[in-house]
Amino acid sequence: MPVPPPLPPRLAAPRRVLPVIVLAQLAGTSSWFAVNAVMPDLQSQFGWPVADVGTLTSAVQLGFIVGALVFALLAVADRFPARRVFLLCALLGALCTLGAALSAGSFTAMLWWRLLTGFFLAGIYPVGMKLAAQWFPQGLGAALGLLIAALVLGSASPHALRALAADWHWVTVFHGVALASAAAGLAVFVAVPEPPHPPGRVVGLQLRALWAAGAEPRVRASVLGYFGHMWELYTLWVLVPVILATRLAAGPAESWAAFAVIGAGAIGCAGGGWLARHWGSARVAAMQLGLSGLCCAAAPWLLDAPLPLFAAWLLVWGVTVAGDSPQFSALTASNAPPALVGSVLTLSNSIGFAISIVSIQLFVALSASVALGNLLPWLGLGPLLGLWALRPLWRRP
């Protein structure tokens, strides 16, 4: 793909732009796992079964898929200023979180609020990446690593908030997440100028990108590798509290541990971006995918290992399960036809999130009757198939 020319000096990005976008991504995506952080409280108060955590998480995933497709089909972030789209979606996402808190006694109402939350997240995470791409066309690789690291920390943050508010009612987490989301939208709108971009016609989602993704071997390799990654990623994040509950009592210690395991993925994203400059994105993605697959396979032995070894296993798994995400995006963007990059990424992300719904529902349902030591290795099917698909890319420079 041709490298965009550098921005003229008068249009150079102000220093504050990238930090503001990164912090806004972190705060704006904190609603993704808000319910997961307080699920033990909800189950205790309302008598919900364990499997409901999978259903509520899948609702967010489904909402994100629908939102991503709608935003892409209508080219919303091209027709309207991206920072205004970010602000509106962040505020509406905050309102959905407050709505979920107010109607938590009704599982059906909670399900709809989580679906809407996912829809508006599609106007935060991808739109934040678009803003970064417009301001940093030549430094997007490093910016992408930071942005996805922020998404990972944002997903983990409700667990930290629950640990800090351990003596308060669980609704505090929802209020904190809503406040963070609203603040993220306002920060982008106030502190990030409208990015420079060349004029051009508005192009919505192009379905022929599916053919391009399947016909071009290098695009097909990165997309299939990403699908394997998505089979594992969100399901592990949902199951982290279940895994920790085998060793830790419910309370602040468990919430801090969940934050550490999920948040460790930010190290994998940022560190993977640095390694990719020396080894290439394909090799870094394959290395992290392979390590997370080994963590799946090691579950039967390490679930009952001494606590330091148990903790090290989960932290390595947390680092590597998310660390390959930026590299898959970079590989797909660099190998897809330039005119179809946005459509290929949107469609592959939507299919990947659909795969995560299937995986979440399956594994959460089975976790009620199957021992974790027998269940977790099957998450390794994703990394295994992903490594097989990536062979054409990581075997060459």
Which of residues 2 and 193 earns the better pLDDT score?
Answer: 193
Collapsed DSSP state (helix, strand, coil) of residue 371: coil
Q: How far apart are CA 337 and CA 339, in angstroms?
A: 6
Whether the predicted pLDDT of 12 surpasses 70 = no
Query: 128 is written with which tokens?
Result: 């934040």
Looking at residue 2, what is its pLDDT?
Answer: 39
* Amino acid occupying residue 165: A
Q: How far apart are CA 379 and CA 363, in angstroms?
A: 9
Query: Are the C-beta atoms of residues 86 and 24 closer than 8 Å to each other?
Result: yes
Helical segments of the chain, H only = 17-28, 34-46, 52-73, 76-79, 82-102, 107-121, 125-135, 140-164, 171-191, 209-215, 217-244, 252-263, 265-279, 281-297, 299-302, 307-323, 325-335, 341-367, 372-375, 381-394
Mean per-residue pLDDT of the chain: 86
Looking at residue 76, what is its pLDDT?
Answer: 80
Query: Are the C-beta atoms of residues 185 and 92 closer than 8 Å to each other?
Result: no
Question: Which CATH entry fits the domain spanning 14-205: 1.10.10.60, 1.20.1250.20, 3.40.50.920, 3.30.540.10?
Answer: 1.20.1250.20
The class that CATH gives domain 209-397 is: mainly alpha
Q: What is the pTM of this model?
A: 0.89
Which of residues 376 and 70 earns the better pLDDT score?
Answer: 376
Q: What is the DSSP string of 85-132?
A: HHHHHHHHHHHHHHHHHHTTT-HHHHHHHHHHHHHHHTTTHHHHHHHH
Can you give 141-182 as a three-state secondary structure string?
Answer: HHHHHHHHHHHHHHHHHHHHHHHHCCCCCCHHHHHHHHHHHH
Q: How far apart are CA 153 and CA 147, in angstroms?
A: 10
Looking at residue 204, what is its pLDDT?
Answer: 61
Long-range contacts of 273-282 (CB under 8 A, 24+ apart): 273/141, 273/142, 273/144, 273/145, 273/146, 273/326, 273/327, 274/145, 276/141, 276/327, 276/330, 277/141, 280/394, 280/397, 281/327, 281/330, 281/331, 281/334, 282/222, 282/327, 282/331, 282/390, 282/393, 282/394
Provide Rg for the chain, Cα atoms.
20
Q: How far apart are CA 192 and CA 194, in angstroms?
A: 7
130: nearest Cα among 153, 154, 149, 147: 147
Q: Where in the sequence of the chain do the CATH 1.20.1250.20 domains occur?
A: 14-205, 209-397
Whether the predicted pLDDT of 138 surpasses 70 = no
Whether the predicted pLDDT of 1 surpasses 50 = no
Winning range, highest mean pLDDT, from 41-45, 338-342, 370-374:
370-374
Query: 44, exposed or middle or buried, with CB in 10 Å at 0-12, 13-18, 19+?
Result: exposed
62: nearest Cα among 330, 257, 347, 350: 350
Query: 216, exposed or middle or buried, with CB in 10 Å at 0-12, 13-18, 19+?
Result: middle
Q: pLDDT of 272-321, one tens digit each?
A: 877 877 788 888 899 999 999 999 999 999 999 999 999 999 999 999 99
Lowest-pLDDT choice from 30-39, 114-123, 144-153, 288-297: 144-153
